[in-house]
Structure 1
Amino acid sequence: MNDFTWRSLWTKIGQLLSLRMVKAFSFQLFSDISLRHPASLSTPPSTPKPTPDTSPSTDFDIVAFYNDLISRDPTITPPIAAIESLTSLLASTPLTTISETLALLSTHSSKLLASQRNPIPLSAGTELFQRYLVSSFQQRPSSLASSDFTALRHHILSNSSLFVKRANEARPKIAQHALPFIKDDSTIITYGYSRAVQALLTHAAESNRSFNVIYVLPATGLSERVSKFIAALNDLSIPTATISMQALIYALASLAPSAPPPQFIIGAAAVLENGSIITELGMHQLALIAKSVSVPLHVAVESYKFVRNFPLGYGPTDLARLGVRQNVLQFGTGTPNSDPKPEAATADEGKVLTTEAEMVEITPPNLISALITENGIMSPNAVSEELIKLWF
């Protein structure tokens, strides 16, 4: 082989090595950008984004179906109701391709969220179900790899029902994980209505734990659901006291010093990516009180309520970014006891929360001691890790 041939060969090898170095540098540069700007990873690469134009038509009214589920079953949560609504949508709509299925889910999920004044809890269910469906398509059994779409659709619907069933089993597991927290002769302080907290306290009473419950009432007073909750606790021979938020500090000071330390156990409508929680109005104030008197605050919540949203703060702007608009400050010139007559609301203004009974707020993670989920006890900081495991 002459010198010219050797030189050509070495030149070609050098070009190949340079190309590999460029590719490696590009990959490293993309990784650095992704780490510096995590918002760019908010949507997994494997999750398709179908356009509404490709969505097949259907007579199924997902909003009416969802509202009927919520009104008929008081034990169902908004995320599960949203998942069951999407499952029924798939079952009632003739579909022939995976693309049509994903487009249908995307369109009707957006429609369902747009119909709600507080779409945050529902978004946990709709996003989780869409992600679950994409994973089911990607990881379908080898026996269905070459089969027609009808067999694959039947497999997805069967697994969707199983998915809902497993989600409904979360509360008993939460109650089991929380049992070591409840000591005999201790005092549990709670606020608002939570199905998970009710299941937790019921399980503790049925496990022969002796404890007292202080129910902190919101400014709107005793609601029907809370009244039924307290009646159920009394039926289990659990001593219960109801107090206002103003009396909380004094009530804590009135507890017997010899008794086990008290603790707050509350529920949540949703858990955001940084570990903060969405609850009814007043929870943030209660959490600040708990922190000031060094009383632990535990949140009993199902993991399907974890939402892929990272709030930058805890005020109206952050709630508005999540789809919730509410008006706490309603100035007027009338007497305090007179209710100002509301003006006719526009279609957009009709989705603004105006009564304190339906308003929500964000409670930051630094005020939360632990989350009690069906998967065990975790710190608020672990929420983002759980979401990463699920989505990436």
Structure 2
Amino acid sequence: MFVRYVRRGGVADDQPAQFPALKRRLVGRATRFGDICRGARGAIATLCQDFLLDGCTVLVHGHSPPVLDALRLAATRGKRLLVLCTEGRPDGAGLRLAGELAAAGVPARVLLDSAVAYSMGQVDVVLVGADLVAETGGVVGGVGTYQVALVARAMGKPVYVAAESYKFARLYPLGQKDIEQGGGRDVDFGDVPVPAGVDVEAPARDYTQSKYLELLITDLGVLQPAAVSDVLLHL
């Protein structure tokens, strides 16, 4: 996202003498991007407060800065929340988030990824971030987001996505295989080694269709997933 923003409008220049000016332009864009990120996260955190009620239990998946900011803000406003953080294997994203929440005085528990359905009954809302918001209104997020949304829908729990508007993109994923995964990831299974001749499938991201999402909470406001295509016309 950072590179896409910094390169917006073109950066190519055939005249070497123009390099200093080009460098200044790129540095300026990078600085503005940082300001935009901070402003977007602040706006999202504020809007999330309408959905984080005092005494509620929130299930979160992954390590999302907007989600973290929203939960911290709720705590500073005196809201008593219990946050269930899925562990987020294999990189332990949920463990890191739980640690940051605890440091901010927000009660947090780490939940096994395999125990999402088991614990969903005590959850009031699901709050997740996104790596990308597709024109379809669906989101690409850390792997496991899709299954969390499926369980939430089956049990009648709302799923809210906290995402910055610069993550909106003109993409139409048709399924999980359309998601770019990047390089392979190492998975630590502890004392149990992977048997010889057995491969490990460890995708980094998955795609959640808009029909499983209640609302998108963005710096542009609270949106229905179906509104993303219209918003993209003006970005």
The corresponding residue for 1:233 is: 101
The corresponding residue for 2:230 is: 385
More strand by percentage:
2
- Whether 1:248 aligns to 2:116 is yes
Are the counterparts in 2 of residues 270 and 278 from structure 1 also a CA contact under 8 Å? Answer: yes
Kindly tell me the number of residue pairs found equivalent between the two proteins. Answer: 221
Are the counterparts in 1 of residues 95 and 110 from structure 2 also a CA contact under 8 Å? Answer: no
What's the CA shift for 1:157? 5.3
- Whether 1:302 aligns to 2:159 is no
Superposed CA offset, 1:203-236 (max 9, x none): 111111111011122453x72x533321221223
Superposed CA offset, 1:300-319 (max 9, x none): 111111112122x1131x22
- Whether 1:277 aligns to 2:139 is yes
Superposed CA offset, 1:337-390 (max 9, x none): 425488xxxxxxxxxxx762x521111111011111112111111111111112
More helix by percentage:
1
* CA distance 1:129–1:250, shift in 2 (3 Å): same
Superposed CA offset, 1:156-198 (max 9, x none): 5586233442233211111011111111110110111111111
Cα distance in 2 for partners of 1:340, 1:194 equals 36
Cα distance in 1 for partners of 2:212, 2:56 equals 21
The corresponding residue for 2:130 is: 268
Matched residue of 1:183: which SS?
Answer: coil
Larger radius of gyration: 1
CA RMSD after TM alignment: 3.1
* CA distance 1:339–1:168, shift in 2 (3 Å): farther
One-letter code of the match for 2:55?
D
Superposed CA offset, 1:255-303 (max 9, x none): 3xxxxx7000001111111111111222111111111111000011111
Are the counterparts in 2 of residues 326 and 359 from structure 1 also a CA contact under 8 Å? Answer: no
Cα distance in 2 for partners of 1:182, 1:386 equals 25
Q: Please, which runs of 5 or more residues in structure 2 have no aligned partner?
A: 11-17, 186-191
Are the counterparts in 2 of residues 245 and 286 from structure 1 also a CA contact under 8 Å? Answer: no
- Whether 1:162 aligns to 2:32 is yes
Counterparts of 1:48-197 in structure 2, within 5 Å, are 79-80=1-2, 82=3, 126=4, 128-131=5-8, 133=9, 156=25, 160=29, 161-197=31-67
* CA distance 1:194–1:154, shift in 2 (3 Å): closer
Are the counterparts in 2 of residues 272 and 309 from structure 1 also a CA contact under 8 Å? Answer: yes
* CA distance 1:381–1:373, shift in 2 (3 Å): same
The corresponding residue for 2:13 is: none
One-letter code of the match for 1:182?
L
Cα distance in 1 for partners of 2:35, 2:89 equals 36
* CA distance 1:355–1:194, shift in 2 (3 Å): farther
The corresponding residue for 2:175 is: 314
Instruction: Report sequence identity in percent.
Output: 25
- Whether 1:371 aligns to 2:216 is yes
Superposed CA offset, 1:81-117 (max 9, x none): x2xxxxxxxxxxxxxxxxxxxxxxxxxxxxxxxxxxx
* CA distance 1:240–1:155, shift in 2 (3 Å): closer
TM value normalised by structure 2 = 0.80
What's the CA shift for 1:336? 8.0
Cα distance in 1 for partners of 2:114, 2:228 equals 32
